[in-house]
Structure 1
Amino acid sequence: MGGVGEPGPREGPAQPGAPLPTFCWEQIRAHDQPGDKWLVIERRVYDISRWAQRHPGGSRLIGHHGAEDATDAFRAFHQDLNFVRKFLQPLLIGELAPEEPSQDGPLNAQLVEDFRALHQAAEDMKLFDASPTFFAFLLGHILAMEAQSWCLQHDLGHASIFKKSRWNHVAQKFVMGQLKGFSAHWWNFRHFQHHAKPNIFHKDPDVTVAPVFLLGESSVEYGKKKRRYLPYNQQHLYFFLIGPPLLTLVNFEVENLAYMLVCMQWADLLWAASFYARFFLSYLPFYGVPGVLLFFVAVRVLESHWFVWITQMNHIPKEIGHEKHRDWVSSQLAATCNVEPSLFTNWFSGHLNFQIEHHLFPRMPRHNYSRVAPLVKSLCAKHGLSYEVKPFLTALVDIIRSLKKSGDIWLDAYLHQ
């Protein structure tokens, strides 16, 4: 048996019918290195060291849960659990010893149990079932207003519209490639990491933005090390110049193209090329080459402003730092907040003002967030967790306040430590 004690030689896959070796968390903790990854799902221990490179969501996404209990993340991201468990079976090497808790560290076991009951209640209420009418209307709306097409591709990426994930994938390629000019694989690669480990440096691409901006704990680190690549105490001012205007125009364009070429995503490259061909051929007869280029820049800058303000008002003002190995619920609540719902806010944000519900249940269609929200509030109240809801304008201003606060912390550490 694996038993409690020093880790022994690497275990092979468990043999069918044979008793499973048992492991303690101390042994499992040792396997969180590049090329050596174990994780726990439903109290079973899996060695994903070699298989991680074949993980459909990417090796980084599954690797971020190395040496952790990944049960809630596993259930949050996968639509057909029984189908996915077939791929896990050859990786099974043992199980947690009976005396070991399901989660490592001083975590709230009752919170974990209550959330799993809430998740089951949401399934029983069929809140993970999408409304075809809602998304048909949304598609028509998007075709008329392409700047809003992030909304549909976002849900397709979370595999929540069609029952068969294959059709979600095909539809996402069309919406992301033909309507936006981006790679669906690239978007899922970075966006799923954000959902798995929100606001965690080097695991969430959305907050790993140093040295351009300093957020959260990076402010003190850069200050203590006397790093001054930019005037960070003024970052709340230069944010307006290089943040919202340039994210999709420059950063996303470069990162997206590099990803498709390096990862050889030729199908995505063709989809993106079809977007640019359609865009330029449609407007070239009216505006000429300079006019089309100017129009393209204007569209990208406009959607970049929308994207940055809508997505970051829920995250940048919250806790940002290094991995703290929290349970699923606590990690999502520490990194997200909601914005007060209204007809305008729901429409303008594409229902992403319900960011807490979206992060707790990433596969849930957006039109059901308001229905599950009371259940989430009750869970938070029971366990004394903060369920933060802000007015829309306050949430936007808090982005700037948070950047200024981080810049001031950097300057203080830079001058006095």
Structure 2
Amino acid sequence: MPPQVAEAPERRIFSRQEIAALNSELKNDDRGDAMKFTIIDNKIYDVSDFVHEHPGGAQVLLTQLGKDATDVFHAMHPASAYEVLANNYVGDLANDVSLPKGNNTAFADEMREYRDKLEAQGFFQADKGFYTYKLVSTVMISVLSLAVLRAYGHSTTGVLVSAFIMGIFWQQCGWLSHDFAHHQVFEDRSLNDVVVVFLGNLCQGFSLSWWKNKHNTHHASTNVHGQDPDINTAPILLWDEYTSSDYYSSLSADDSGVAKFIAQNIIPNQTRYFFFVLAFARLSWAHSSFLYSFKQGSINKSAKLNFFECAAIVVHWTVFTAVTYFWIDSALNRALFFIVSQATTGYALALVFALNHSGMPVISEEKAEEMEFFEIQVITGRDVKNGLLGDWFCGGLNYQIEHHIFPNMPRHNLKKVQPKVIEMCKRHNVPYHLTGFWKGTLEVLQTLDIVQKVSAKLSKKAF
């Protein structure tokens, strides 16, 4: 007989105990037949049929099953999403005051009020002049790189200078793509996506859908072990003791020589090769983007979007190949241009990404269920003190905590709200971490060192 799928219940009142039990049932259900519920604004929604049609990706929705996803939903959805949400309504949450929703509820309540105030004051409205300037100035970086290459493609020095400038162009494209992909600029989300396909798929060779699927999940479950894809980098790098324990417990004496070599000799020395690995970050992301677009399609299941994404990626690499072949006069210089441009972007992106959350607390799934969304965003993020040049280089992501609290707020307003966020965190005893660029990088290396020492001990037990 085929597996029995539970019928949707009639609309009724659910207790928190019932939702917790359903969530536990879901985790233990290998067939995926359990009902999939989430809580938003004290209402219960059955998303069993909707989960794989979710335009933001299935994975981000799966991280919120059985949980109160109110703050995640409001932070990442437009008003139009409420109509879709209403179609999945099945009941209400019982008002049981004996069961608190999470730790630091007062902090969350005040943060929600602050968000409403900022919306009323227009802080979520983009300055179109700022983004026009950013778009034009960013594209001009590529024009400068190509102009240098066209004029000095016969010179190794000229090739290296052009490659470096192109690497910075790709990095700045990444930050600008990030803003548009978070729908910070246009109220019409489709217009934001058009710009991302241009800046991401065409200019960088990165897939809009690949990025959104990964990044949306990161925002919903930041630094949550087993859920946040940004900290799931094993066996290349291990960022916390949870991952180290999971990785080494999965190994056995019968594993291949390669797996054993990595476990015994590579990971226990990860601080030594960390900066070497960063050089390959762009190539890794480009490869993942290519596979995602051509194998999985677009994140919203649109054949039209997938066509444009795939076509833009093909054009990106076709133009890159043609330019390097016709404008550079030797195989050695072509190789240098490829390596230096890719590595420059890898370092310029990954150094900033590492500062965002690496080395900050990693939370277990069980602990995360007891915490409020805003509290998780603050304690897992790292803000970096920068001047104007540093702000430009980091693309506004040095205000990482504010960005995670208000992901659809335009980057030019993040600095304005930072003092108030710091004040609120201090008053509610929520740890807020602000440091310098090099101090933050040192913290990242110190975390890698701690984990590599743990890994060395686990390696001896595993083999």
TM-score normalised over the length of structure 1: 0.90
The reply to whether residue 137 of structure 1 matches residue 126 of structure 2 is no
Alignment of 1:76-95 (within 5 A): 76-78=75-77, 80-81=78-79, 83-95=80-92
1:247 and 2:281 aligned: yes
User: By how many angstroms is 1:263 displaced?
Assistant: 1.2
Deviation at 1:295, TM superposition (A): 1.8
Counterpart among 94, 97, 101 of residue 94 in structure 2: 97
Cα deviation for residue 321 of structure 1 reads 4.3
Match of 1:117 in 2: 113
**Structure 1 residues 220 and 136: CA distance shift in structure 2, 3 A:** same
Number of equivalent positions: 398
1:369 pairs, out of 397, 411, 414, with: 414
User: 2:122 is paired with a residue of what secondary structure?
Assistant: coil
Q: Partner residue of 1:65?
A: 64
Distance in 1 of aligned mates of 2:88 and 2:123 = 32
Aligned residue for 2:386, secondary structure, equals coil
Shift of residue 293 of structure 1? Answer: 4.9
What is the root-mean-square deviation of aligned Cα atoms in Å? 2.1
Is the Cα–Cα contact under 8 Å of residues 246 and 304 in structure 1 kept in the other structure?
yes
Matches within 5 A, 1:17-416: 20-32=11-23, 33=26, 34-35=32-33, 36-78=35-77, 80-81=78-79, 83-99=80-96, 104=101, 106-145=102-141, 146-147=169-170, 148-216=172-240, 217-222=242-247, 229-230=262-263, 231=265, 232-242=267-277, 244-249=278-283, 251-264=284-297, 265-287=306-328, 290=331, 291-323=333-365, 324-325=368-369, 326-415=371-460
Counterparts in 2 of 1:336 and 1:320: CA distance versus 1, 3 Å: same
1: distance between equivalents of 2:315 and 2:194? Answer: 15
Looking at structure 1, the residues matched to 398 and 204 of structure 2 have their Cα atoms a distance apart, in angstroms, of 22
Shift of 1:384: 0.3
The separation in 2 between residues aligned to 1:246 and 1:103, in whole angstroms, is 46
What is the rounded CA distance, in whole Å, between the counterparts of 1:416 and 1:339 in structure 2?
39
Q: Quick one: distance in 1 between partners of 2:138 and 2:198?
A: 13
Which structure carries more helix by proportion?
2
Residue 180 of structure 1 aligns to a residue in which SS? coil
CA contact (8 A) 1:213 1:235 kept: yes
Per-residue displacement from partner, 1:141-177 (whole Å, max 9, x unpaired)?
2112322111110001100101211111111111111
Counterpart-to-counterpart distance in 2, 1:60 and 1:221: 21
Q: 1:47 to 1:225 in 2, by over 3 A?
A: closer
- TM superposition shift of 1:226: 6.9
Deviation digits for residues 229-257 of structure 1 (CA, Å, limit 9, x no counterpart)? 33322110021222x111111x2122111
Give aligned-pair identity as a percent. 25
Scaled by the length of structure 2, what TM-score is found?
Answer: 0.81
CA contact (8 A) 1:310 1:349 kept: yes
Alpha-carbon deviation of 1:354?
Answer: 0.5
Deviation at 1:202, TM superposition (A): 3.1
